[in-house]
Amino acid sequence: MNFENQPNVNSSENEEKEKEAKEENIDNSQESNEKENGESVSEECLRHMKSGEEVGSVLKQIGKDALDKGLENRQKAWDESANTLTKMRGFSHLENASDDELKNEYIKNFESQSSDLYLGKMLAALDSEAFRSGFFNAYHDKPSENLNEELSKIANIIERLVGVAKKMKAEADNNEKKL
């Protein structure tokens, strides 16, 4: 029996999931290029929010039932990102911290890949939360102009931490060249 010619009951659902996966892969590949081109964390968050808004608008057109079903699957990942960012509330003092204090906190909490606060994980969670914000703004027909206050504050703190990480990497590279 040839299964290729059989009708696929879930084809529209599968096509929708494939489209979402392709869009996320495109976003991820563009993300690394844009970070290298000097895009700030806040600008990147706004870009992800607009991307979420565009996807939300497109998916809204396919019908509310299909959209709600697709959201059930995505909601778990979004909740995980939100929980990750919640951990940043304890670091609000870093927004105005000195460079030395920022460096010490980075080394202590954000540098290790095994840390729950690993900087890469925080950046991914921030992007996901911004996308989610834009998506639901479109879902509820609200404009996506700016990040909410909390997300903006977290983006600023992470921006400062990214600066410390880059500075430390440059120092380490300079030390290696001297040897």
- Mean pLDDT calculated for residue range 27-45: 62
Taking the model in full, what pTM does it have?
0.69
Nearest CA to 96 out of 44, 40, 157, 42 is that of 157
- DSSP letter string, 93-132: GGGG--HHHHHHHIIIIIS-TTSTT-HHHHHHHHHHHHHH
> For the chain, what percent of residues have pLDDT higher than 90?
40
Per-residue model confidence as pLDDT tens digits over 41-100: 989 999 999 988 888 888 777 776 767 777 777 888 899 999 999 999 899 999 999 999
Mean pLDDT across the chain, nearest whole number? 79
Query: Per mean pLDDT, which range of 10-24, 37-51, 93-107 is the poorest?
Result: 10-24
Q: Domains of the chain: which residue ranges?
A: 13-26+39-178
Token digits of residue 20: 């979402």
- Displacement of CA 27 from its chain's centroid (Å): 10
For residue 23, what pLDDT is reported? 47
Give the residue with greater pLDDT, 141 vs 27.
Answer: 141
Buried/exposed 74-83: b ≥16 CB within 10 Å, e otherwise = eeeebeebee
